[in-house]
Structure 1
Amino acid sequence: MIQIAIVDDHAIVRTGLRQFLGEQVDLRVVGEAANGREALELVRQTPVDVLLMDLSMPGQGGVEALQAIKARFPDLPVLILSGFPASRYAPTLMAQGASGYLNKECDPQEIVDAIRVVALGRRYLSAEVAELMAERALGGGTRLPHEALSERETLVFLRLAQGETVGAIAEALHLSVKTVSTYRSRVLTKLGLEGNSDLTYYAVRNGLID
């Protein structure tokens, strides 16, 4: 029996997934969470074989949650189920430890197949994600400036681009204001930009935020 935890900020999505997965004889949903912090607490308290997690959530979202969870539970398979296109986040998240990346518009049976694959300690690569990762490995395509950012720089960049203040980011990421300001300066330099409004424009233009 594969024990699964579902992490999504929409209760109706969690309910639908719980019902569908519960119809599979080898799958059992053992917990739910609405954001990254709840997910981390859940896996601390409950034995979980696979974490099925959304990306866009209030508070601590999936990108930060993946980092925190893999730091504490490196062997726990985390399967990302997102409404964002794979081209936007999949290669980066797979490089950061995600075991698979699925779009919410995929066939429900693919979610089941992916859970069974990652529960065995393997990675699940859809055809689209496999192609994206192959292109990255071969150096194909044009590499955008933001792809050179570190993981922490990326987190700070995306929060700034969405209008968060340095102080709010420092509190959310448990960093000092000075440290966040340093990351901000690095991001602006690496992207060749001058201010937060430029970061927002860059992120929207490149499909990193809506």
Structure 2
Amino acid sequence: MRQALVVDDHPIVRDAVRELLQNEFPSIVMKDSAGGEGIVHEICGSEWAFVVLDINFPKQNGIDVLKKVIARCPNIPIVMFSLFTDEQYAARALRAGAMAYISKDRSPQDLVEAVRGVLRGAPVRKVRKELRPILSDREVEVLTHFAKGMSRRDISKRLSISEKTVSTYKARLFHKLGLSTTVELIRYANDEGLIE
């Protein structure tokens, strides 16, 4: 029988999510864990239909846990679950390998739908498309030009804006997408289909 794991350090949240998912997916045995130092081993030590993983733990970061899990057992679908509603957390989680990201302020049905999508094998790219609205049209334009290898000077000429303004847009892109290098911007643009 297939099984799934809910990982959250708050017992009430963990129990409620496990019960919700058990009712929605009766053919999958739902287990739970409070996390802790051995969580990567616990996740990778079994075959899970999916794992719902909190992003914030007292002594560790859920994104770091996610990266370790993806490195050791990349075939386990992870749904990140968080109090954070800021899109940059979603972007970071999806870039790190999560199949979906749901904030805890969403409805229980949203979590169920995310899990259904993961069980169907919904591609990360489809989920990532939902993040595009966080960027303005001009930011997408600047991102696309950087991704095509254009310099700051070339972009400023193409868009008839100053190089300083291009730098400001680049800084906004880094902040909104949770990135820190131009290479990461290019990879993101490629994943989003912005590079033809």
The reply to whether TM is greater than 0.5 is yes
Counterpart of 2:11 in structure 1 is 11
Counterpart of 1:143 in structure 2 is 173
How many residue pairs align between the two structures?
150
Q: State the structure with bigger RCO (CA 8 A, min sep 6), 1 or 2.
A: 2
* Percent of aligned pairs with the same amino acid: 26
Q: Which stretch shows the higher mean deviation, 42-51 or 102-111?
A: 42-51
Counterpart of 1:166 in structure 2 is none
CA distance in 2, matches of 1:23, 1:69: 27
Alpha-carbon distance, 1:149 to partner: 5.7
Q: Which runs of 5+ in 1 are unaligned?
A: 151-210
- Residue 137 and residue 7 in structure 1: after superposition, are their counterparts in 2 closer, same or farther (change >3 A)? farther
2:127 aligned with 1:125: yes
Give the alignment's TM-score, normalised by structure 1: 0.60
Larger radius of gyration: 2
- Residue 127 and residue 95 in structure 1: after superposition, are their counterparts in 2 closer, same or farther (change >3 A)? closer
Counterpart of 2:114 in structure 1 is 114
CA contact (8 A) 2:78 2:100 kept: yes
CA distance in 1, matches of 2:69, 2:34: 15
Counterpart of 2:160 in structure 1 is none
Q: Which stretch shows the higher mean deviation, 61-70 or 132-141?
A: 132-141
Alpha-carbon distance, 1:59 to partner: 2.2
Question: What do residues 150-204 of structure 1 show as CA deviations (whole Å, max 9, x unaligned)?
Answer: 9xxxxxxxxxxxxxxxxxxxxxxxxxxxxxxxxxxxxxxxxxxxxxxxxxxxxxx
- Residue 102 and residue 127 in structure 1: after superposition, are their counterparts in 2 closer, same or farther (change >3 A)? farther
**Secondary structure, in 3 states, of the residue corresponding to 1:125?**
helix
Question: What do residues 23-70 of structure 1 show as CA deviations (whole Å, max 9, x unaligned)?
Answer: 114453442222263432222333211110111102232011001000
Q: Which stretch shows the higher mean deviation, 61-70 or 28-37?
A: 28-37
**Secondary structure, in 3 states, of the residue corresponding to 1:105?**
coil
Alpha-carbon distance, 1:85 to partner: 1.3
Q: Which runs of 5+ in 2 are unaligned?
A: 145-168, 183-196
Alpha-carbon distance, 1:88 to partner: 3.0
